[in-house]
Amino acid sequence: MIKTNTLAKDYQERSRKRLTKLTVGLLICSVGLIADILIGPSWLTIQETFTALFKPEEVETAVRVIVWTFRFPATLMALGVGAALGIAGAVMQTILDNPLASPYTLGISAGAGFGAALAIVFGSMVTTAFGPYLVPTCAFLFAMLTSFVIYLLGKLKGLSPATMVLSGIGLSFLFQALQSLLQYISTPEVLQNIVFWLFGSLTKSNWFTVTLIYIVLLVVIPAIMADSWRLTALKLGDEKARGLGINVERLRVKMFILVSILTSAAVAFVGIIGFIGLVGPHVARMLVGEDQRFFVPLSAVFGAALLSFASIGSKVVSPGAILPIGIVTALIGVPFYFSLILRGKRGWL
Amino acid sequence: MIDIIGLSFGYKEQMVLNDISFEAKPGEITAIIGANGIGKSTLLKNVCGLLEGDGTIKICGKPLREYRPSELSSQVSYLSQDTVSHALLTVFEIVLLGRIERLSQRISDEDIQAVDAVLHRLGIESFAFRYIGELSGGQRQLVFIAQALIRNPQVLVMDEPTSNLDLNYQFQIMELIKKLTVTEGLTTLITLHQLELAARFAEKIIVLDGGRVYGSGTPSEVLTRAMLREVYRMDVEIVNSAGAIHIVPICRHVS
């Protein structure tokens, strides 16, 4: 009994440390949230921003509009999309047993990019009920289509992770080529719009799109977490997971559908943002290992924190303007990523 | 108790197992031997329900097809040949996964006690919180045996548990399996390449050759010069010394 107490104590100590890491991650997100709202090209003072936030009736309309219509939704969008991409990367890496899997490397972002480019090029020619939402809708549909094709190709080989990863990489090249073709035939104005979308941007966020992304997160996260032990078992390999009574194919399909929805929703509203889906899970893995009860939430938290700080960076780098977030994410992310690789002690972190 | 009656299985058109029949009893180790690629692992996977062939397999008197997957996995613990894992999971977490049907987000005291008991039984409690990738082959094998035991199975199915292990670990693992089989009354079905280990620890040996059962019986009945010549294409000397069977290879038999 004394020994049992020791093991229980050790386990509780480890759990406490993991929860502390999660709490620290959430605190970093909170700092990002506050800093992201306070910083912007319009040079509002801290006091003005806080007053606009908590007592909107006491500030001028222009200040209220800047804070509530532009900054606040973009800030929440950064956190929501970062969390979505972090979770999507984490779950993809688990179900495909590949540390390089992410929405970007699997071509889902490229699919969304092609969908958006298609809508930008041909959108003006058709009357549509979607209005400003034609581009994100098209991006969403093509991202989902990419996932579906990856699934279909994988299905031909018994949902083998290797086939799915290789199919995704192939589709990535295909959609990039198609998107280049669209850019090649477009007018300079349309080309500019496509390129701007592809850079990724939080500035188009509004309360409707923010609400949508958080609804998707609220639906998808509990559905993933309900299977966290099964996902952990999958890390031991398909055969061992089956030996534990898990229907591996069903679990893989369910998770793939959930992360496809998550990824498609995330990239549809903000454009192509690489890296978050790769780096978020790698940081989480280094900190807590691959017990998915902690790994998935921590991937979300670090994905959110990373995009939030990239958003801050995009406003600080060139005062008075906002650099596209996709560019900043890579600029900040790559050195950080290299430092993780070089410091990692266990093979691929 | 495992009853296999007329089991046949093939991958696409290639038949691997042909009309296999034998039984394995509780409290005994039944070892399956045979040349590489002869279908030993395929046979084990059929017993665990990971593959499905023609014929009938009964576990504890009930046909395999009548089991629900979770019910079957709680009766039959399967240890695959591969214990290499790059997962960043601790020994504690891997053993805990043996109780996957009962786990919730929060680990209960009962779960911790169950893991603790099995880790102590196997003497691996000191590395409870080390990552599996940091352990040696023998230690990893013990971890997966612990995961199998925590499920309180009736049937233990192990695919070459001693491959890649040094002599000391080979004996340690086999002695442990023997002890568990006898004390827990497990029906243990095991594939082995080391025939002397099979002779020493198994009550019954099944020899597979050409997808069929070449012979079955006690080690001294089965491990004969004729069998080794036909199945393994080896000329050997069989020496009985101090109650143990030793197989001394003389030369490769080419025919």
Residue A348 has what pLDDT? 46
**A23 in helix, strand or coil?**
helix
- C-beta atoms of A237 and B133 within 8 A: no
Residue B254 has what pLDDT? 62
CATH class, domain A36-342, is mainly alpha
> Do residues B28 and B181 touch, judged by C-beta distance below 8 A?
yes
pLDDT tens sequence across B99-145: 999 999 999 999 999 999 999 988 899 999 999 999 998 899 899 99
| Placement of tokens 């089989």 in the chain | B181
- What is the mean pLDDT of the segment spanning A66-94? 96
**Which range, A168-172, A203-207, A269-273, has the best average confidence (pLDDT)?**
A168-172
Calculate the alpha carbon distances from B77 to A238, A242, A249, B157 in Å.
15, 11, 20, 6
- What is the mean pLDDT of the segment spanning A260-285? 91
- The confidence band for A275, taking pLDDT boundaries of 50, 70 and 90, is confident
Judged against a pLDDT cut of 60, whether residue A345 lies above it is answered with no
Which of the 8 DSSP states describes residue A66? I
Domain residues for the domain of B108 are 2-249
- Nearest CB partner across the interface for B73, out of A229, A243, A291: A243
- What is the mean pLDDT of the segment spanning A205-229? 96
Dihedral sign for Cα atoms in the order B126, B128, B131, B133: positive
What global pTM score does this model have?
0.90
- What is the mean pLDDT of the segment spanning A316-337? 82
The 3 state secondary structure assigned to A78-133 is HHHHHHHHHHHHHHHHHHCCCCCCCCCCCCHHHHHHHHHHHHHHHHCCCCCCCHHH
pLDDT tens sequence across B196-245: 999 999 999 999 999 999 999 999 999 999 999 999 999 999 998 877 88
What residues in B contact A245, CB-CB < 8 Å? 69-70, 72-74, 100-101
- The confidence band for B82, taking pLDDT boundaries of 50, 70 and 90, is confident
To probe the interface with B, which of A4, A10, A299, A349 has the most B CB atoms within 10 Å? A4
Residue B254 domain-assigned (yes or no): no
Q: Which of A118-127, A190-199, A326-335, B38-47 shows the lowest mean pLDDT across its residues?
A: A118-127
- The CATH number that applies at residue B24 is 3.40.50.300
- ipTM attached to this prediction: 0.89
Chain B residues interacting with chain A (CB cutoff of 8 angstroms): 48, 50, 69-70, 72-74, 77-80, 82, 85-90, 92-94, 97-98, 100-101, 103, 105, 107, 109, 112-113, 115-117, 119-120, 125, 128-129, 131, 133, 144
Buried b (16+ CB within 10 A) or exposed e, A97-116: bbbebbbbbbbbbbbbbbbb
Residue B202 domain-assigned (yes or no): yes
Residue A347 has what pLDDT? 47
Structure tokens at A26: 């959430």
**Residue A323 CB coordination number (10 Å):** 18
Mean pLDDT of chain B: 92
Judged against a pLDDT cut of 50, whether residue B30 lies above it is answered with yes
Residue B83 has what pLDDT? 78
Residue B255 domain-assigned (yes or no): no
- What is the mean pLDDT of the segment spanning A130-159? 89
Instruction: Give the distance from residue A346's alpha carbon to the nearest chain B alpha carbon, in angstroms.
Output: 9
Judged against a pLDDT cut of 80, whether residue A303 lies above it is answered with yes
- C-beta atoms of B69 and A245 within 8 A: yes
- What is the mean pLDDT of the segment spanning A324-331? 86
Judged against a pLDDT cut of 50, whether residue A213 lies above it is answered with yes
- What is the mean pLDDT of the segment spanning A13-25? 96
Residue B157 domain-assigned (yes or no): yes
- The confidence band for A335, taking pLDDT boundaries of 50, 70 and 90, is confident
Judged against a pLDDT cut of 80, whether residue A336 lies above it is answered with no
- Chains A, B: CB contacts within 8 A come to 93
| Placement of tokens 């929860």 in the chain | A19
- What is the mean pLDDT of the segment spanning B63-73? 90
- C-beta atoms of A7 and B115 within 8 A: yes
Calculate the alpha carbon distances from B58 to A48, B30, B61, B157, B248 in Å.
76, 16, 5, 14, 37
Residue B149 domain-assigned (yes or no): yes
Residue A227 has what pLDDT? 97
Burial of B14 from C-beta contacts in 10 A (0-12 / 13-18 / 19+): exposed
- C-beta atoms of B85 and A235 within 8 A: yes
What residues in B contact A225, CB-CB < 8 Å? 105
Torsion from C-alpha of A311, A316, A318, A320, nearest 10 degrees: 90
By percentage, how much of chain B surpasses pLDDT 90? 76
CA distance A59 to B99: 59
In sequence order, the β-bridge partners of residue B238 are: B247
Structure tokens at A139: 């991006």
Mean pLDDT of chain A: 90
Torsion from C-alpha of A40, A41, A47, A51, nearest 10 degrees: -70
CA distance B173 to B137: 11
> Do residues B193 and B99 touch, judged by C-beta distance below 8 A?
no
By percentage, how much of chain B surpasses pLDDT 70? 99
Q: Searching chain B, which residue's CA lies closest to the CA of residue A241?
A: B97
> Do residues B11 and B17 touch, judged by C-beta distance below 8 A?
no
Judged against a pLDDT cut of 80, whether residue A130 lies above it is answered with no
By percentage, how much of chain A surpasses pLDDT 70? 95
Judged against a pLDDT cut of 60, whether residue A342 lies above it is answered with yes
